[in-house]
Amino acid sequence: MATQERWLTDDEQRAWRALIGIVVLLPGALDRQLERDSGLSQIEYGVLAMLSEAPDQTLRMSQLAALNDSSLSRLSHVANRMEQRGLIVRRTCPEDRRANIASLTEAGLAQVVAAAPAHVTKVRELIFDKLTPTQLENLTEVAAVIRAGLDPDKGPPPPQVE
């Protein structure tokens, strides 16, 4: 900062810079690999992957959004494009006619199956191959803690009353 008070300790500074670096660079790295190898964006891959694991390869839009940490609006646009391309189909849910369920098509399934290996390899290459078992443990713990505090969308968490 321009100002006096050192707002983060040196340790925190270093952690912060590295973390932001990851946050800024990782999506691009993954997107490029996916785009190049499979013509998919990261969220599209995520959608296909989640559907492929779901019972009947079908999920409600809202669930799909939650699973991908996406807003409903964003997912709706994405689903439009994917439907155009024939990767998924949507129909209104019979039990709740406000809701919309998306299902994998055969083409969609074929796409994920084809895309997965290279993607996983990239993930390994970028993350897990670099870590010792201890570091993996530490990552799992720390990432979970941070992630938990990021949920849509609590402001300052209510002070712990013990």
Partner DNA sequence: CGGAATAACTTGATGCTTCAAGTAATTGCT
Partner DNA sequence: AGCAATTACTTGAAGCATCAAGTTATTCCG
Q: Closest CB to DNA among 52 and 76?
A: 76
Do 46 and 30 form a contact (C-beta atoms < 8 A)? no
Provide the CA 40 distance to its chain's centre, in angstroms: 14
Nearest distance in Å: CB 148, its own copies: 8
Per-residue binding string, its own copies, 131-150, x by CB under 8 A, is x---xxxxxxxxxxxxxxxx
Helix axes 42-53, 10-38, angle to 10 degrees: 80
**Binding segment (CB under 8 A) for its own copies, from list 1-9, 58-66, 78-86, 90-98:** 1-9
DSSP 57: G
User: Which one of residues 94, 152, 158, 159 is an interface residue with its own copies (CB under 8 A)?
Assistant: 152
Among residues 112, 92, 113, which one has the least CA distance to residue 102? 92
Q: How far is CA 4 from CA 1, 16, 96, in A?
A: 8, 19, 58
Q: Contact positions toward DNA, by CB under 7 A?
A: 28, 31-32, 41, 43, 60-63, 70-81, 90, 93, 96-101
Q: Contact positions toward its own copies, by CB under 8 A?
A: 1-3, 7-8, 11-12, 14-27, 29, 49, 52-53, 57, 68-70, 109, 112-113, 116-117, 120, 123-128, 130-131, 135-153, 156
